[in-house]
Amino acid sequence: MRYLLLLFIVMPVLEMWLLITVGSEIGALLTIGLVLLTAVVGAALLREQGFATLWRGRQKLQEGKLPAKEMGEAIILAVSGALLLTPGFVTDVIGFAGLIPPIRALIVSRILSKMVVTGSPLGGFHTDGYSSQTADQTESSGNVIDGESWERKDLD
């Protein structure tokens, strides 16, 4: 939490310092133009790569596989897009780094290596939301929580 607060304090100060420094070297109008150019180029790249990631995710869903990698890439693309639309050069560099496929794949693979994705042991991921296994076919690999539910008739 401390690091996040520090990031929200340090990042804007760094961005302002860099914008003022670049502006004093090349001029205010060129600096504004450069910031706008990075936003436009970043949005175009984001759109292209976003559609490609969406297409790969849909194909995996149609094959009955969990599109975990594509979902991770979509999150990184969304964060990169937000950073590219934020005025500043440091955020643009970080945003463009998220648009480079090998860097994005490395980040996603590191995140996914720390996660456990589970599914039904009989068929993997089901796109229709329903599993084809019965209660007798489930494997207990964790804690079992037993519970009850009631339906109130007086709320109708």
Query: What pLDDT is stored for residue 1 in this prediction?
Result: 72
**Residue 74 forms part of a structural domain:** yes
| Cα(141)–Cα(156) distance, integer angstroms | 40
Query: What pLDDT is stored for residue 2 in this prediction?
Result: 80
Query: What pLDDT is stored for residue 141 in this prediction?
Result: 58
Residue with tokens 């869903």: 61
pLDDT 10s digit of each residue in the chain, 156 long? 788 888 888 989 999 999 999 999 999 999 999 999 999 998 999 999 989 999 999 999 898 888 888 999 999 999 999 999 888 999 999 999 999 999 999 999 998 888 775 654 445 544 444 444 444 444 555 677 777 777 777 775
**Residue 29 forms part of a structural domain:** yes
Query: What pLDDT is stored for residue 106 in this prediction?
Result: 93
**Residue 132 forms part of a structural domain:** no
**Residue 28 forms part of a structural domain:** yes
Structural domain containing residue 76? 12-116
**Residue 84 forms part of a structural domain:** yes
Query: What pLDDT is stored for residue 28 in this prediction?
Result: 92
**Residue 5 forms part of a structural domain:** no
Query: What pLDDT is stored for residue 151 in this prediction?
Result: 77
Domains: count for the chain: 1
Closest of 121, 117, 140, 120 to residue 129, by C-alpha: 120
